[in-house]
């Protein structure tokens, strides 16, 4: 089983998710957007699988601080461009388990996908 978790090291939700994985003995690779950036192919795959509405974190301060023109008329293409320009707008964490994806951290969903 290949497990990759994507996010930002300092994010509190990321810390909870990584702690959960560690406590459950799950080996994983960690992709830090701050250190490595976001990869277009990954973001496009997430948007295709989960929908841009799920992947784009519209509740975060980075998105809320955008000019109204940038927030208007968002579709999948525009959402991908926004997230690539500012990866902190990507819902955290993104968990990829052998191609199965989860956005956000909920212990019961982690248990189900890793079972």
- Residues acting as catalytic residues: 11
Neighbours of 55 (CB within 10 A): 24
CA distance 46 to 53: 11
Alpha-carbon distances, residue 106 vs 43, 84, 94 (angstroms):
21, 25, 11
CA distance 13 to 48: 23
Look up residue 56 and give its two tokens: 């784009």
């Amino acid at each position: 089983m290949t497990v990759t978790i994507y996010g930002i090291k300092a994010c509190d939700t990321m810390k909870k998710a990584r702690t959960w994985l560690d406590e459950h003995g799950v080996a994983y690779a960690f992709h830090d957007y701050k250190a490595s950036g976001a990869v277009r192919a990954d973001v496009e795959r997430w948007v295709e699988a989960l929908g841009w509405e799920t992947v784009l974190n519209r509740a975060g301060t980075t998105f809320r601080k955008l000019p109204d023109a940038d927030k208007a008329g968002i579709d999948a293409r525009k959402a991908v461009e926004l997230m690539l320009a500012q990866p902190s707008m990507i819902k955290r964490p993104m968990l990829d388990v052998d191609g199965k994806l989860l956005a956000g951290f909920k212990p019961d969903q982690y248990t189900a996908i890793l079972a």
